[in-house]
Structure 1
């Protein structure tokens, strides 16, 4: 059983009288413990694919399975619950709650999951070099600091699937490599299935497999 499986997925958008094939028929599987990179030019369909896998968009045709169970065909309410339980998102924008301190961002997750993991929070923040920022608000942080907090938060509730869309876009080279190493480490040690969309081909060395997206078509490198 694959952690992520896409069966004959397509995505079309209507633009006036024109139908745009944003994603051509795609079949792919990612196993637990596998770190996969998706590369390709801007506008090729990489982010569309990632949002479909994560249930933020529904495919025009086909089916997404997460941990062996149908995901894309479920109701929005069920998808939202599974999205929180099983998927960790790392987006280009950090998506932190602006009126919560760093510590409170994690406490919010604790309140929803009904469990406290302060040791895991401290480990993740320390690993990402932002442990001193726990009492700061997002507006008091640099773009790179906000992104590292967001990465820690995405890993915090121990999802089985990690979806990362340009996770290092706001980081310098050293921090970018550290983040990718952390994702690779978490993928292996915690048996996660991780997909990372990136334009930076220097970062794919840590990945097990590289896929290329070109004009909505996904191929193996």
Structure 2
């Protein structure tokens, strides 16, 4: 047994240490490699020791999301609602990019922890503090969707999160030729720009520029509706 392992055993086990180790393991080995048994090995404890701090793997994953939320910067005071929202979204995206597993886990959560609810509440609060009506804020949050977590559904992604298999060059050329015949508009748009692989959350076109471009379009639209005193038809009928 190494001195490092002995030192690890001497550090008292608590929930924060379990969650931090789980995040590190998922970052390094992938979320598929995360199990209670593997995590216990990393911590130098028996698997049953973990259950004193997390009831099961689902609670472990919820806790990992809480770690992710804690990394997101709080709202910037005196920045104006538009800049505050933009900064917060981009902070969430930076956190997401640091943890390749984060999007998959976020999308798999069926229950919201207090940390997640707190993040959502403070996010909504930025619009309300900016003078948005409750009605407009409701629709704004629908429009933002998963973008408040730093990711969006990717238009040209058909890999469903799986690692793409590169076909042989001659097969790829034939596929592109067939695509050009059948779906010329899709191919033209999909091939129009190069993407920065280092900034992509998953496979596809959602690189940093595309993300910020769409975010700014939304924020500009929210600002225009707010200035116009926009109200939904349903809210008008309920008055």
TM-score (norm 1): 0.29
Greater RCO structure (CA 8 Å; 6+ sep): 1
Richer in strand (by share):
1
Richer in helix (by share):
2
Please identify the structure whose Cα radius of gyration is greater: 2
